[in-house]
């Protein structure tokens, strides 16, 4: 039973990190539409769309690989530093090309 409880706890935390930013974005729509003119609201929407696209490109599924190897590895610092440096270096290279 402890394994299932641990699974639900981890799923909740991981799911919360995915759902919470979308909920905040959804709740801010009335604020954006009341304060900003239509043209500027359209620009904000395009910027948010770029954020989603760039986030997918820069992360390239590393979170899934990180959790897979972090749970199976005995050297946790190695997994953490390898995935972290990989994301930092590739992100810098990608943004330098833009």
Query: Which DSSP symbol is given to 73?
Result: -
User: Coil, strand or helix: which one is 75?
Assistant: coil
Tell me the pLDDT tens digit for each residue of 17-56. Answer: 778 888 888 888 888 888 888 778 788 888 888 888 888 8
Strand segments (E) across the chain: none
User: Global pTM?
Assistant: 0.54
- Digit-coded pLDDT (tens) for 44-96: 888 888 888 888 888 888 888 888 888 888 888 898 899 899 989 988 998 88
């Amino acid at each position: 039973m402890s394994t299932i409880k641990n699974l639900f706890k981890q799923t909740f935390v991981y799911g919360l990190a995915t759902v919470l930013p979308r909920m905040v974005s959804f709740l801010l729509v009335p604020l954006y539409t009341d304060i900003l003119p239509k043209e500027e609201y359209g620009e904000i929407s395009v910027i948010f769309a770029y954020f989603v696209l760039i986030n997918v490109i820069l992360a390239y599924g590393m979170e899934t690989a990180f959790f897979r190897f972090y749970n199976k590895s005995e050297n946790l610092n190695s997994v953490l530093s390898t995935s972290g440096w990989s994301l930092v270096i590739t992100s810098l290279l990608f943004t330098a090309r833009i």
